[in-house]
Structure 1
């Protein structure tokens, strides 16, 4: 890659007439238009007194104005704080109070919740912006319109400051020092590294499809890096399996990012529907953000071909990557360390473990070490010898390929034996009548904990799932796939599972309520 040719701002000046982004309603935005909007927003926020290292919080839908806000931050030396749109007002207020942003940008859809959060945090009205008219907010485009859209001087590279998932406690901001240098150079290098590991090439008539909320850091980051490689970005308002296929065909999409839940829903489409769309333009289907059941992964590879790439990592550090061909040779692996990164498995005493030994996964922090904003104790407890863990468990094989087992907090200890929920969930999701599944441990007087499966049936299986034989059928199905001590001893059928905007299962909301029905107790050691 020729880095001096890359970087959104640089590309937009060279090819101003190119379409840079496509709104969910199909409206096209040229590079010239997007650059002018970014420059106006930059000048608007500077007029509020924002200086190098300040924060801007974004609680927005999938729309081009969200990309404008990120690009403005990234050329002005500010931290962009993406906020999960599924959070409550109290949860958003915590993040606002912690990061103390110089401005907040939201979409009308989320304005009531964000307004309540900002009222709790005591943030003034002149710093509240919405992408369209909303009570209590200034319209971003209107407020920025008096400012010129020409090239901005005194540019500096900004960054994301993501807040870690709040599923097991209050979220913490992952803070890194800003990189010095021209923003085009900084982000061109980052894009070449990030998308290069997935073998994504710059320009080449590239089109990136956004299927998940931009409030998810990986989704936002891949959209931005696509712009930095000269690709146009097509936005979906919300994921729809057939709608995704329709856009791939219409827009000749070459790259996209999906989560395992979306892959499962794609495979659930009627075979005739799946076969009616042309997906031959796809060159790179990237997935992450959670464990992917092997049967789902294999089904997507069989359908889309060897264009599937998986990554594992965290806001705190880079992780692993694996191609379809590598995965077919090692089903279930999430790959080897990304270029320039390293992975270790350690026990509870910080001792490095050998191939095949199970322990905590630690990722090398690299030259840009992070800290949890305002929580030095959490930072220290997560770091060993410049490696950080987010609580995931796994092992490395002889060739350095990582296999994940679950999270420390999620391991079920039943009768003194460890059960890893991801293994049970993978078996459940192979059943044709199960649309989604989550596994947790529930207290039991005899065993300490027992395995509980919470299941969302497919539409076709809903009536059957309400009957007495469904649970027995599930146990019999899983018995051929996992050991007896891993079988669910309790099964609950629900209408839907509590997944966040990024597709991750919010397991603290999964604990069963009510009578789970009669489930046969499987053999236990």
Structure 2
């Protein structure tokens, strides 16, 4: 079995695999670190099908861990370092981790893991965490050579929890024979679909505990490119890196686009990076107004894709396609796309329904067959939980998540449609719409808006939005209430947490406010 990382470590050992602000990691160094982690796993008796978890920052360790777990036949689960102690404990326990690695920077939230008896589980710390074994001396004593019994493992990511508690996404492990030669399974589709190659210099500005930045950075190292990894996103610094590190491809979420566009006009006008040929974006809906602003600034280099941690399928489109089909997230390039009604019957082009994919190996939510069944149609197709439609050319247009749908007086209202409309107003920076319980209609839409920096009179802003909605939206879709807020609740990769707003509105209704 051949591995891309090992191939490049042998051919060009000094080639930089990873770059950070304070230095770089060569392919030989990353290969050696991955081998030492693999030897550590075998030292503790971890075998095919076992699980490990890690709470880390944006360093070389998450990538080396992923490579090591893959070579040892283990499931690797990265845990968000922004989670609270109970949230971290939940995922570590739920995934049955036999070994946990944590950075001392997060000692306050990970130390409780070692305070609770957990037979058979090892706790290692980069730095000093009470109850954890210091990693550095143990890892230094491990051989930097491959383990003798390499066999394919997998990532086991947890869903973002935008609609409830995070859920582990599990698939059976590949056999050595089925995995075959070439890049590892987790990297093949990205390398093939997006044409990743050894001349790639990829900017990764997001946390490596999320599926997209982790998988993309791993795929870049499998392809022989260089991943330039930001410790933490900063809009000005991101532009600086693109300009000074010869970045050819970058990856973003819409919230990052907003931060970039908020930079002073002079800085945006001075931005010059002719070698920056592809700007990938995904993870959250991008409003047409926001995307047009980025295209006007950066040119026709934006590539959007729609997928998820469950990896049930993938759609994609470039800038030229999007300009022909504004608002679309592209055509299927992985899996077969289906739009189903509530009875799992296939709908024709133009009809809105539940978005499913077939043709991909089925996933399961770890130890949760009921939730798995809820994401699986009678035909065995699986979904990420979105509602949408496909046009006559096969392009997918998303309406919303199933759980975010507002039903008011028997009428289906898609919050995203209202949000995109309201964000057309220059005075509105961001908008989120959520359902508020209503005695007569069941639910009514409430719009939460973040004003642009130019707004000085919030009362006038609300009146402007109301007047605009009267002409822009049908009567049944118009928000019954406009609330001006400083910020919207989002995950750390920019996904709108609409459930937080729904919970707030439900609590208000139950309290009689």
Structure 1 partner of 2:511: none
Segment drifting more, 384-393 vs 475-484: 475-484
Q: Give the CA deviation at 1:180.
A: 2.3
- Rounded to whole Å, the distance in 2 between the matches of 1:189 and 1:94 is 28
Match of 2:147 in 1: 152
Write the mapping of 1:121-520 to structure 2, written as runs, cut at 5 A.
Answer: 122-123=117-118, 127-181=122-176, 185=181, 187-188=183-184, 191-198=187-194, 200-204=195-199, 206-316=200-310, 317-339=312-334, 341-364=335-358, 366=360, 368-384=361-377, 385-461=379-455, 463-465=456-458, 468-511=459-502
Relative to structure 1, the CA distance from residue 273 to residue 456 in structure 2 (aligned partners, 3 Å threshold; closer, same or farther) is: same
Q: Is the 8 A contact 1:216 1:501 kept in 2?
A: no
Structure-1 separation of matches of 2:123 and 2:269: 46
> How far off is 1:91 after superposition?
2.1
Q: Does 1:74 align with 2:70?
A: yes
Alignment match, 1:7: 4
Q: Is contact 1:105-1:129 (8 Å) kept?
A: yes
Q: Cα RMSD over matched residues?
A: 2.3
Tell me, in whole angstroms, the C-alpha distance in 1 between the residues paired with 2:180 and 2:277.
Answer: 25
Moved more, 265-274 or 40-49: 265-274
TM normalised by structure 2 equals 0.92
How far off is 1:188 after superposition? 4.9
Contact 1:356 1:396 in 2 (8 A): yes
Quick one: structure 1 residues 19 and 91, their matched pair in 2 at CA, closer, same or farther if it must change by over 3 Å? Answer: same
Contact conserved, 1:434 with 1:455, CA < 8 A, in 2? yes
Moved more, 357-366 or 149-158: 149-158
Residues of 1 paired with 2:180 and 2:268: CA distance?
Answer: 40
What is the CA–CA distance in structure 1 between the aligned matches of 2:493 and 2:120, rounded to whole Å?
A: 29
Tell me, in whole angstroms, the C-alpha distance in 1 between the residues paired with 2:260 and 2:164.
Answer: 32
Structure 1 unpaired stretches of 5+: 515-525
Structure 1: distance between partners of 2:428 and 2:180: 46
Q: Deviation at 1:332?
A: 0.5
- TM-superposed CA distance for 1:512, in Å, is 7.8
| Contact 2:33 2:144 survives alignment (8 Å) | yes
Contact 2:115 2:131 in 1 (8 A): no
Q: Quote the Cα distance in structure 1 between the aligned partners of 2:180 and 2:297.
A: 37
After superposition, the C-alpha distances for 1:379-437 in whole angstroms (9 at most, x for unaligned) are 22321212112321001111111110001111111232211111112223333333332
Distance apart, 1:165 and its partner CA: 2.9
Distance across 2 between alignment mates of 1:446 and 1:126: 54
Distance 2:74 2:184 in 1: 18
